[in-house]
Amino acid sequence: MAKNHTRYIFSMGELKRKDNSIAFRNEKGNFYIPVQDTREVYCMNEVSFNTKFLDFISRAGITLHLFNYHGNYSGTFYPKEQLISGDLCIKQALCYIENRLKIAKSIVQAIADNIHETLYHYYRHDKKDLKPTLDWLKSEPKKFLDKDITIEQIMFIEGQIWNKFYDSFKHFLSEDFLMNKRVKRPPDNPMNALVSFGNTLLYTKTISAIYTTHLNQAISFLHSPREGRFSLCLDISEAFKPVIVFKTIFDLVGRKQLQVEKHFDKSLNYALLNEDGKKIFIDAFETRLNETFMHPKLKRKTTYKHCLKLEGYKLIKYIVEGKEFVPFRLKDKM
């Protein structure tokens, strides 16, 4: 049986093994999660467990993503790596040394392309004020990325692309959800809260996708590899942010399914989704992630979730065979 289900736990409680199932216990009683078709468990609140439970889910091949009471990502526990390749790890490290700039540039160009496609949807629906932004995205990033530049300059261009994107929100979002500027830790308004929450969910999905490949999670190209973090997921998820995270946000806000007064914590200046808000967002996020479309190269239907894994395989092809690495682009699937 395919392990394709993601389970979310929103309340405080205790996780433990019960026979061949995961048992979650809180003040309302016991709830059971079958392990056969479960791929990931998200704990969106404070949950306790012991090493016996961790050993059980490890042998069952289940990844556990942990968030604290305020919805901030704490970390991921995943089973002992079975897809380890010393040879690929060495080649991945050499690729970082020799070809980092090339890969980083391709990622940033994909960000610009996918933001352009995302905004073009609104331009076609009469938001003509977006034209200067669309024109800039079409020409300027490529112009800079074609030059002989440093990683710091590439990161600067990436920042400019995102800033142009954030500034465009005023043309198609309600005033309640304008960003002003990106603030991460902690978010300081509803839009920053949505972006931080959505990005974190995407990062964890990407960690799970990379786990199914032979890639080393710590060796990244656009983002600098650092101690204590899986930085490759930051690289691979970048091109998908406009397509998955922001498309989810724009749909929920545009349809008024998320409202500031109803779905954000008033005591924290509306800078944090409440439990109802998180459930609405996660439901829409999972729907978007599992949306099917005809893949132009595979010639069959696939999902955005599967494309996250394909990005890993494309990167391996580049590292091992030198085949050009072209990150996911929305326009390629249209």
pLDDT tens digits for range 223-251:
988 765 789 999 999 999 999 999 999 99
Residue 254: Cβ-neighbour burial (10 angstroms; 0-12, 13-18, 19+) = middle
The one-letter amino acid at 294: M
Q: What is the pLDDT of residue 1?
A: 42
As a whole number of angstroms, the distance between CA 252 and CA 238 comes to 21
Rounded to the nearest 5°, which phi and psi values hold at 287? -60, -45
pLDDT at residue 3, as a whole number:
53
108 in Cβ contact with 222 (< 8 Å) = yes
HSE-CB of 51 using CA atoms within 13 angstroms: 0
Rounded CA separation 188/179 (Å): 9
**What pLDDT does 293 receive?**
85
- One pLDDT digit (tens) per residue for the chain, 334 residues: 445 689 999 989 999 998 888 999 988 888 998 888 888 999 999 899 999 999 999 988 899 999 887 778 888 988 876 667 788 999 999 999 999 999 999 999 999 999 999 999 999 988 999 999 999 999 999 999 999 999 999 999 999 999 999 999 999 988 877 766 565 555 668 888 899 999 999 999 999 999 888 899 999 999 988 765 789 999 999 999 999 999 999 999 999 999 888 888 877 666 788 889 999 999 999 999 999 988 777 778 889 999 999 999 999 999 999 999 999 998 876 4
Question: Before 79, cis peptide (omega within 30)?
Answer: no
pTM of the model: 0.89
Give the pLDDT confidence of 31-82 residue by residue, as tens digits.
Answer: 998 888 888 999 999 899 999 999 999 988 899 999 887 778 888 988 876 6
Please state the φ and ψ torsions of residue 308, each to the nearest 5 degrees.
Answer: -60, -45
At 12, phi and psi to the nearest 5? -75, 150
- Rg, Å, the chain Cα set: 20
> Rounded CA gap, 129 and 123, in Å?
8
